[in-house]
Amino acid sequence: MIPTAQRIQQVEEYYFSKKLAEVRSLDRPDSKVINLGIGSPDLAPSASTIEALNNTARLPGSHGYQSYKGIPALRQAIASFYATTYRVTLDPEKHLLPLMGSKEGIMHISLAFLNEGEEVLVPNPGYPTYTSVTTLCGGKIRYYSLKEENGWRLDLDDLKQQDLSKVKIMWINYPHMPTGTVATQGELETLVALAKKHQFLIVNDNPYSLILNDYPLSILSIPGATEVALELNSLSKSHNMAGWRIGWLAGDQELIDAVLKVKSNMDSGMFLGLQQAAVEALKSDRDWFKQQNEIYSTRKERAVAILNLLDCEITTRQSGLFVWARAPQHVVSVEKWIDEILYGARVFITPGFIFGTEGKNYVRISLCADERIFQEAFNRIARWKQLTTNTQTVAI
């Protein structure tokens, strides 16, 4: 067997890549496993978004290579979105770089700025890709803990006391996944000041700001942030376009150009139809988002009912596409407990350990399923619980 590169010996296949294959293997023709684990929106984009894709795809001249920086109309649409949503002014030509989903941006940014051995601040719990990409790029991971007793907030006083001289990148993610915590302007101001003092790059991963969140916030709205900060964003969650792979990076031109050096060697531009569709999606008005959030709000109630049925404790006020909760005290291994629910009730819920050691006693439910599916999941878990504990449950 040809030996693999050493860099991949330190990372594992993405958890969902393996686990979802296991979940699918349990499907029966008469009954599929209910997947409440992954945040893949089941709702559709706006009608005008789909129409723009179809119309562009029918044109003979739409199928060639595109600019690495995206069409001007897309960059302008993103700039207008930032002005309306976050009150941030961006130059479409200088301050924006469309991406094929923001996930690829994590790799591009790391390759552009991170030298081997340099330190990277990563949230724990947090998105696993920050850790794996840092490892692949030869960086040194330095976790900062987010704890329930602190409202899942970053301990800024503790961070100020640390030696940050070797830090090159700090990953933040607000609203935070998986805990749903929303940053305050004051917290972001403190982080920007620290980054300036110690000369490291902050990257805010910001795909959840319009979901069950009344006050969308961009780190680029903080005075002076553009000197030390970049922001990733996408249409995946907010506009129901996860499979379309449309995202972007926003920030100072010098930082953007550094990432473009990497990106331009990795792909050949985004399909024109997707870009035109993104332009339409970014025109979605407040009423469209209000409708989406009304749906998610109702689903959240259903998700909370399931977690209550499982005797979990819901933690803090949460925004975003998930509900995060502490598993019951009697559960010794959340991973094992989740598998008991999967195989016994045929419902998949995400175990919190995949987001880091601080998440090992927690679980996460996605809001990406309609009410009927949540009801069926509740019923299945109620039957399973009754069989295993001989207790009565109250229907929702």
Domains of the chain: 6-43+286-389 (3.90.1150.10), 47-281 (3.40.640.10)
Confidence (pLDDT) at 13? 80
| Phi-psi label, residue 381: left if phi above 0, alpha if psi -120 to 50, beta otherwise | alpha
DSSP 344-368: HH-EE-EEGGGG-GGGTTEEEEE--
Contact present, 38 and 321 (Cβ < 8 Å): no
Per-residue confidence of the chain (396 residues) as pLDDT tens digits? 898 888 888 887 878 888 888 888 898 888 899 999 999 999 999 999 999 999 999 999 999 999 999 999 999 999 999 999 999 999 999 999 999 988 999 999 999 999 999 999 999 999 999 999 999 999 999 999 999 999 999 999 999 999 999 999 999 999 999 999 999 999 999 999 999 999 999 999 999 999 999 999 999 999 999 999 999 999 999 999 999 999 999 999 999 999 999 999 999 999 999 999 999 999 999 999 999 999 999 999 999 999 999 999 997 789 999 999 999 999 999 999 999 999 999 999 999 999 999 999 999 999 999 999 999 999 999 999 999 876 555 555
The C-alpha torsion from 267 through 273 and 276 to 282, rounded to 10°, is: -80
Residue 300 has φ and ψ, to the nearest 5°, of -60, -40
Count of Cβ atoms closer than 10 Å to residue 1 Cβ: 3
Whole-prediction pTM: 0.94
Cross-strand pairs, 202: 170, 229
Long-range CB contact pairs, 108-112, < 8 A, 24+ = 108/249, 108/259, 108/262, 108/263, 108/266, 109/169, 109/201, 109/203, 109/230, 109/232, 109/249, 109/259, 110/134, 110/136, 110/137, 110/139, 110/169, 111/137, 111/262, 112/258, 112/259, 112/261, 112/262
How far, in Å, CA of 322 to CA of 299, rounded?
10
Cross-strand pairs, 364: 324, 350
Hunting for tokens 């990406």 — which residue is that?
368
